[in-house]
């Protein structure tokens, strides 16, 4: 390891990720300021073909062989209001440094009477990762309130403010997301994010947009509920599924939902059992994960090929597909230390001393069962490094 005043002892990914698995990077460093971050990126890009930044590690699965490049942990902090003339009355723009815990940002907004992200309570990870993944839950996404991000761009070597509509935000993706450990469409690192939140003069949040949350709150869809009450209900729901980090709960030793809900054509969905949940999809940029009609390989494309482009699409429940392919809560492969969560079928978990390879093997098994039963290829949501899924 090259000597560098900003570089600390190498830390294994098992200490950096919520899966608690993974070997060591070739080099590890932490950045606590934007200046440190940009300097480390410049140096890492110069010296290594492989590099990554790590936030909360909640969307990262790494194999036992580790990573052959530099891993830079973003530990910058700061939340502030930004006064800009283009913001309409009733809207407050908030700028958040990339290393801030997302949960701390939601708590700040709710305490300040700012609405727009209360339904995103309890999502682990850092704020800088939030737009990369376009995090979402209970009928809300960060893309709904994201104004812009500040990026440090590898090609230009400059800090740039980029509008949200230039990020290609889609279902759990953006142009900044790396897929399968490969490069992103744009090699840049999020330095800060700007959110446009609504000042709640009556203390109420945005209209409730998700049936499960409405039921938990005892209200109808579209009703508005106190911000703090929404936050409490969301945290309770997520905790009941093992989706809130808890060192004593091994169901939370995971990356949350491991597979994205697949998007298929309405025609294909009509061939599934009548009780298979489905929701209409309007966004034409949603990925397609259905097998073509001839039964050959699966697709992950931004258009409906080989189907017709104007065909209506629906989103399926990955959890329902897994359960109805015969894989229940707590399922584990023989001799493996990875298992389906005992609380939620969509989460793959480390039961104590699993390896990344254990989790990847379980993921492949789930994919094979669902594909065999329903003809749908489930796609992993986390970034996967050094493993085949």
Q: Domain containing 168 — which CATH number?
A: 3.30.465.10
Tell me the residue range of the domain where 50 lies.
13-74
What is the tally of structural domains in the chain? 3
Instruction: Verify that 208 and 154 share a domain, yes or no.
Output: yes
Instruction: Verify that 283 and 350 share a domain, yes or no.
Output: yes
- Exactly one of 147, 148, 200, 257 is catalytic; which is it? 257
Query: Is position 222 within any domain?
Result: yes
Instruction: Verify that 308 and 218 share a domain, yes or no.
Output: no
Give the whole-angstrom CA distance, residue 46 versus residue 43: 5
> Residue 297: its pLDDT value, please?
37
HSE-up of residue 173 (Cα within 13 Å, Cβ side):
24
Calculate the alpha carbon distances from 381 to 105, 258, 328 in Å: 23, 5, 20
Q: Which two tokens stand for residue 131?
A: 């737009």
> Residue 302: its pLDDT value, please?
33
CATH of the domain at 51: 3.30.43.10
Q: How, if at all, do strands 278-281 and 263-265 pair?
A: unpaired
- Determine whether 314 is exposed, middle or buried from the number of CB atoms within 10 Å of its CB (0-12, 13-18, 19+): buried
Instruction: Verify that 258 and 234 share a domain, yes or no.
Output: no
Q: Which two tokens stand for residue 191?
A: 């330095």
Calculate the alpha carbon distances from 326 to 154, 271, 333, 366 in Å: 46, 19, 13, 9
> Residue 299: its pLDDT value, please?
37
Q: Which residues fall within 8 angstroms of residue 108, CB to CB, at 6 or more apart?
A: 79, 94
- Boundary of a domain, candidates 205, 240, 275: 240
Query: Is position 321 within any domain?
Result: yes
Instruction: Verify that 266 and 307 share a domain, yes or no.
Output: yes
- Exactly one of 93, 172, 238, 369 is catalytic; which is it? 172
CATH of the domain at 305: 3.90.78.10
- Boundary of a domain, candidates 23, 56, 74: 74
> Residue 300: its pLDDT value, please?
38
Calculate the alpha carbon distances from 136 to 139, 157, 228 in Å: 7, 31, 18
Instruction: Verify that 166 and 83 share a domain, yes or no.
Output: yes
Query: Is position 247 within any domain?
Result: no
Instruction: Verify that 98 and 171 share a domain, yes or no.
Output: yes
Give the whole-angstrom CA distance, residue 249 versus residue 318: 23
Known active-site residue 257: yes
Q: Which residues fall within 8 angstroms of residue 210, CB to CB, at 6 or more apart?
A: 119, 138, 139, 221
Query: Is position 150 within any domain?
Result: yes
Query: Is position 7 within any domain?
Result: no
- Boundary of a domain, candidates 74, 92, 119: 74
Calculate the alpha carbon distances from 104 to 101, 138, 149 in Å: 5, 19, 18
Instruction: Verify that 212 and 272 share a domain, yes or no.
Output: no
What is the 8-class DSSP label of residue 69?
A: E
Instruction: Verify that 172 and 228 share a domain, yes or no.
Output: yes
| Grouped pLDDT means (10 residues each) for the chain, 389 residues | 56 97 97 97 95 95 97 97 90 98 98 98 96 94 97 96 94 81 81 98 96 97 98 97 92 95 90 93 51 38 42 91 98 98 97 97 98 94 94
Q: Where are the beta strands (DSSP E) in the chain?
A: 25-31, 51-54, 60-62, 67-74, 79-82, 91-97, 114-115, 136-137, 140-141, 146-153, 159-163, 188-199, 263-265, 278-281, 313-316, 338-340, 348-350, 383-385
Instruction: Verify that 83 and 231 share a domain, yes or no.
Output: yes
**Residue showing tokens 């279902």:** 171
> Residue 8: its pLDDT value, please?
63
Query: Is position 2 within any domain?
Result: no
Q: Which helix (H) or strand (E) holds 233?
A: helix 227-240
Instruction: Verify that 22 and 50 share a domain, yes or no.
Output: yes
Q: Which two tokens stand for residue 293?
A: 């009609």
Q: Which two tokens stand for residue 262?
A: 């697949």
- Print burial letters for 280-298: b (CB count within 10 Å at least 16), e (below 16): ebeeeebbbbbbeeeeeeb
What is the 8-class DSSP label of residue 180?
A: T
Query: Is position 291 within any domain?
Result: yes
Query: Is position 5 within any domain?
Result: no
Residue 385, phi then psi, degrees to nearest 5? -125, 125
3-state secondary structure of 269: helix
Instruction: Verify that 201 and 316 share a domain, yes or no.
Output: no
Known active-site residue 381: yes
């Amino acid at each position: 390891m090259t000597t560098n005043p900003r570089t600390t002892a190498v830390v294994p990914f098992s200490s950096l990720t919520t899966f608690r698995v993974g070997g060591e990077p070739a080099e590890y460093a932490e950045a606590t300021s934007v200046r440190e971050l940009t300097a480390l990126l410049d140096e890492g890009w110069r010296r290594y073909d492989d590099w990554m930044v790590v936030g909360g590690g909640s969307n990262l699965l790494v194999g036992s062989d580790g990573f052959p490049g530099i891993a830079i942990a973003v530990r910058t902090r700061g939340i502030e209001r930004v006064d800009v003339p283009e913001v309409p009355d009733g809207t407050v723009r908030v700028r958040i440094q990339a290393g801030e815990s997302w949960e701390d940002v939601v708590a700040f907004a709710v305490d300040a009477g700012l609405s727009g992200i209360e339904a995103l309570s309890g999502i682990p990870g850092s704020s800088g990762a939030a737009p990369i993944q376009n995090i979402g839950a209970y009928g809300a996404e960060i893309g709904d309130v994201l104004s812009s991000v500040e990026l440090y761009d590898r090609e230009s070597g400059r800090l740039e403010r980029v509008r949200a509509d230039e990020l290609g935000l889609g279902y759990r993706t953006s142009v900044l997301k790396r897929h399968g450990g490969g490069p992103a469409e744009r090699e840049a690192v999020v330095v800060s994010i700007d959110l446009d939140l609504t000042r709640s003069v009556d203390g109420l949040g945005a209209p409730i947009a998700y049936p499960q949350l409405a039921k938990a709150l005892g209200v109808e869809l579209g009703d508005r509920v106190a911000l703090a009450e929404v936050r409490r209900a969301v945290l309770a729901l997520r905790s009941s599924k093992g989706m809130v980090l808890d060192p004593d709960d091994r169901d939370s030793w995971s990356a949350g939902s491991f597979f994205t809900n697949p998007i298929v054509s309405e025609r294909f969905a009509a061939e599934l059992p009548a009780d298979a949940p489905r929701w209409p999809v309007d966004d034409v940029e949603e990925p397609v994960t259905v097998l073509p009609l001839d039964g050959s390989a699966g697709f992950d494309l931004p258009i409906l090929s080989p189907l017709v482009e104007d065909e209506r699409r629906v989103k399926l429940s990955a959890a329902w597909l897994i359960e109805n392919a015969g894989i229940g809560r707590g399922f584990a492969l023989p001799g493996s230390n990875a298992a389906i969560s005992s609380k939620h079928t969509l989460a793959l978990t480390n039961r104590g001393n699993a390896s990344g390879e254990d989790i990847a093997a379980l993921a492949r098994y789930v994919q094979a069962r669902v594909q065999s039963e329903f003809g749908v290829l489930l796609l992993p949501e986390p970034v996967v490094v050094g493993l085949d899924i």
